[in-house]
Amino acid sequence: ATAVANRTAWRVALAAAIVVAVGAVGMALWPAGPSLEGTRIAVLPVQNASGNADLNWTRLGLMGFANELIQSAAQLDVVAASDIVRFSENTGWSGALGATGAASIIEKLRSAYGASHILTSELTETAGGLRLTYTLVDPDGETSQGTMVSSEGTELVRGMVRTVSAELSGRRRIADQFPTVSDDPFINEAYARGMSFSLEGRCAEALPLLAVVTDSARMIGTARLAWAKCANTQGQWEEAEVALQDMLASLGDDSRNDSDSALHAEVLEALGTVYLGTGRLDEAYATFQSGLAEAESVNDPEAQAALLNSLAIVARYRRDFEEARELLARATVAYRAAGRTVVPGGVPAALANIDMYEGKLSAAQDHLEQALEAHRTVGDRLGEAKMINNMGYLRRLEGRYAEAEPYHLQSLEIRREIDDTVGVGRVLGMLSTLYEGSGRYAEARDAAGEAVEIAREARDALFLGTGLAQYGAALRGLGDLEASRAAFDESRTVFAGLEDVSRVAQVDVRLAAIEIDLGQYDAATARLDGVLSTTLAEELHEPAIEALEYRGDLALLLEDPASARVAWEHAMDLIASTGFTAQETGVAMKLAHLYLDDEELAAAEPLLGIVLEQPESVESLKLQARYAFLRGDIARAVELMEAARDLATGEGGDGDWTDGDAQALQLYRSPQP
């Protein structure tokens, strides 16, 4: 708002004559002609010590401007501005080298982002205009200092970068034609202000400023890319896609220099992200692959690592976990090559997700702890919130529901504190699933309903489809079957529009469950058979397992235990061969009961082994009691059944104790000869 209000005033000021005075260079100069290999500069936010609130934009704006000049003009590697923003704001470090703990923070900056040099600066106002005092810290901790004076902030940065580049290259002076972002000071400051808003996540304010900048030929690349990323963040993915495709066309395919290839890789990564967010997995994968080739052509390990990470996400969505693990391993190598001793938390976090998909819950715990430590090392609160949320999800997979909720609530609190609205919605979705699974259907409905509204506002189709499915599940639990069906129908439409066959199948399974609830058995049978036909042919094992479980449930309702047995045995075979274990315990208990109906104790025993690996539940105790009774261990059967009753009816119990259960307990106590 301040920027808009003062726009006329600062534009007039920018037209003033610019004078740059270079101050004394401090403690040490580099010897002539050093190798720049391995040089990576971390530019810290500018400390606004002027006392003038109208210059607050310079904190991130001039930092981003310096990054652009170091990359494009000086041809040196820099730590991504977005990484520095998260690091500095979450650690609370202003960049002051004399601050308590500064040395320790600098070491974290080096290990986490591979920085060889640290560039800090402070802005003050004097009678002669603005003064920028900078300090460059080399790998040995030696410092080099300088001062710039000008009436215009972006020219101060130009002078600073020109001088620092001269020192790093071993030359006392860089030619006066050292390029800048634009010859128009207004464009320069609009760019810096727009980047400041973008780095703060204030994309709505960044977009109009960056749009002004795109008219400048020299700045069309970086400004247009920043604009497109912000547009995508704001849900304007169609506009972002067009802008990114136009950029690719303008870059062309032949005779690109290294700078253009690096930008080309960034554009491809951004475009692939648009495709990924809109469910176009094949296009996303091909685009990320092209970006990786560009990053490899200019030997940019940071860009390679980011693109390998993105490719791993696509592989995970496709359930190709072997490829995903391979890609993440390559990303780790690339991060090490970039000088990072601490691998970003996203890598172990992705591995944890794969572990959970494959039922390797102990490995998932280890990877989540690694990810959480990595995020906390750099003060990344958003990453921390994501890992805490995933800890809650892991507890749910382990059946430890009471322990899951505090994790989700802690993540929700952090996301609200940092104003991560979409993240709030995703945690609410997790809570909805937790509440629905615990029978707290009204709470599940409210949480899912809020998540759906956030998803609609964000125009995030994948998030919306998931939220609608969670909302439908909660409504089904409340007995509002028609409203539940409407939510699932809309969810199905969203996923079909994304061409997400797997999620369409998952929603169809839930629609079949509603048809079963309504007694529409023929419709449910046809729907489940259709799901199985598609999922088995496409090797979509997760929804196939769910469909087989429901197919068995339906067969029992139709008094066809033989068909139920076939369906559940098929489901267990798929679980064993694929590692999708979410339905394993439930299917194992159902199938074990069928085997016990036929007194096939030997067939039931391996399934009992699976059940006993999970936390104790009312249903597992009932199953064990029945098995003990059939084996003739009457005392054990009575003991187990009484434990089931006490767990179901005691404080905090779920009340899952029926007249039939009471009759079974009476039978166990008084067996017939």
* 243-256 confidence digits (pLDDT tens): 888 888 877 655 45
pLDDT tens for residues 371-409?
A: 998 888 777 788 899 999 999 999 888 778 889 999 999
Whole-angstrom distance between the N-terminal and C-terminal Cα of the chain?
87
∠ CA 361-590-504, nearest 5°, is 65
Instruction: Go through 567-598 and write b for each residue having 16 or more CB atoms within 10 A of its CB, e for each that does not.
Output: bbbbbbebbeebbbbbbbbebbbbbbbbbbee
Find which of 95-104, 127-136, 293-302, 584-593 is predicted with most confidence, using mean pLDDT.
584-593
pLDDT tens for residues 587-635?
A: 999 999 999 999 999 999 999 999 998 878 899 999 999 999 999 999 9
| Backbone phi, psi, residue 183, to 5° | -80, -10
Is pLDDT of 16 > 50? Answer: no
pLDDT value, residue 633: 94
pLDDT tens for residues 221-241?
A: 677 787 788 777 767 778 888
Q: From the centroid of its chain, how far is CA 425?
A: 13
∠ CA 549-555-556, nearest 5°, is 95
Is pLDDT of 298 > 80? Answer: yes
**Percentage of the chain lying above the pLDDT 90 cut:** 40
pLDDT value, residue 358: 77
**How many other CB atoms are there within 10 angstroms of residue 3's CB atom?**
19
**Between these two residues, 295 and 443, which has the higher pLDDT value?**
443
Is pLDDT of 662 > 90? Answer: yes
Is pLDDT of 299 > 70? Answer: yes
* In contact, 225 and 194? CB cutoff 8 Å: no
* In contact, 349 and 387? CB cutoff 8 Å: yes
Beta strands in 357-399 (DSSP E): none
Q: H-helix or E-strand containing 145?
A: strand 143-150
Q: From the centroid of its chain, how far is CA 461?
A: 16
Instruction: Go through 90-119 and write b for each residue having 16 or more CB atoms within 10 A of its CB, e for each that does not.
Output: bbebbbeeeeeebeebbebbbebbbbbbbb
- pLDDT mean over 461-482: 95
**Predicted structure pTM score:** 0.62
Is pLDDT of 480 > 90? Answer: yes
pLDDT value, residue 167: 76
**pLDDT classification of 455: cutoffs 50, 70, 90:** very high
pLDDT value, residue 367: 95
Is pLDDT of 320 > 90? Answer: no
Q: Which of 398, 467, 472, 408 is nearest to 441 (CA)?
A: 472
Find which of 132-136, 139-143, 170-174, 519-523 is predicted with most confidence, using mean pLDDT.
519-523
pLDDT value, residue 632: 93
- pLDDT mean over 308-315: 92
**Percentage of the chain lying above the pLDDT 70 cut:** 83
pLDDT value, residue 653: 62
Is pLDDT of 218 > 70? Answer: no
pLDDT value, residue 422: 85
pLDDT value, residue 654: 61
pLDDT value, residue 439: 87
Find which of 110-124, 388-402, 516-530 is predicted with most confidence, using mean pLDDT.
516-530
Is pLDDT of 486 > 70? Answer: yes
pLDDT tens for residues 267-282?
A: 899 899 888 887 788 9
Ramachandran class of 40: left when φ > 0, alpha when ψ lies in -120 to 50, beta otherwise: beta
pLDDT value, residue 60: 77
Q: Cα–Cα distance between 529 and 580 in angstroms, integer?
A: 20
Is pLDDT of 6 > 50? Answer: no
pLDDT tens for residues 187-207?
A: 666 667 776 666 656 677 677
Is pLDDT of 51 > 60? Answer: yes
pLDDT tens for residues 258-268?
A: 556 677 888 89
Mean pLDDT for the chain overall: 82
Find which of 80-84, 195-199, 595-599, 656-660 is predicted with most confidence, using mean pLDDT.
595-599
pLDDT value, residue 614: 82
* In contact, 58 and 192? CB cutoff 8 Å: yes
Cα–Cα distances in angstroms (integers) from residue 124 to residues 148, 153, 308, 652, in the given order: 11, 11, 42, 62
pLDDT value, residue 283: 92
pLDDT value, residue 260: 63
**What residue type is 337 in one-letter code?**
A
pLDDT tens for residues 538-592?
A: 888 889 999 999 999 999 999 999 999 999 999 999 988 876 777 899 999 999 9
- pLDDT mean over 54-62: 78
Cα–Cα distances in angstroms (integers) from residue 242 to residues 219, 227, 604, in the given order: 18, 12, 59
- pLDDT mean over 291-310: 89
Helix 421-437 and helix 441-458, axial crossing angle in degrees, nearest 10: 150
**pLDDT classification of 356: cutoffs 50, 70, 90:** confident
Residues in the chain: 673
